[in-house]
Amino acid sequence: MYIVVITTTDSKKSAKEIANTLLEQKLAACIQIEKIKSYYIWEGKINKDKEFRLVIKTKKELFDSLKKSLKAIHPYTTPQIIAIDINSGNKEYFTWIDEVVKKI
């Protein structure tokens, strides 16, 4: 099974560092970085910030390792780390993910 993991961070530099670390550790096959505007409640206040969203493609069996690594390098105290199951897709794409991520 394959998943998409979504996280956000406060700078392009941080997003690139996270992406490079996860790719070097072979915990992800592909990571897309998008500039976004986030509205959220933190410590009782409404906040509006520019953030960078990382869309991470990987295998479900790597999620615990990916989450541990992400938490270790993430600048946020409480980072968003959301995993979404992929129920169907391009078989050749999944084969490519299998080839490039860590084998357990």
* Extents of the domains making up the chain: 2-100
pLDDT of residue 21: 98
| pLDDT per residue as tens digits for the range 25-84 | 999 999 999 999 999 999 999 999 999 999 999 999 999 999 999 999 999 999 999 999
> Domain spanning 2-100 has what CATH number?
3.30.70.120
The predicted pLDDT at position 104 comes to 78
Tokens standing for residue 63: 């999620």
pLDDT at 60: 97
- What mean pLDDT do residues 6-19 have? 98
Helical segments of the chain, H only: 12-24, 63-73, 91-100
24 vs 103 pLDDT, higher one = 24
Residue 99 has a pLDDT of 96
Closest CA to 79 of 97, 91, 67, 62: 67
Entry pTM: 0.94
Q: Which two tokens stand for residue 81?
A: 């780390």
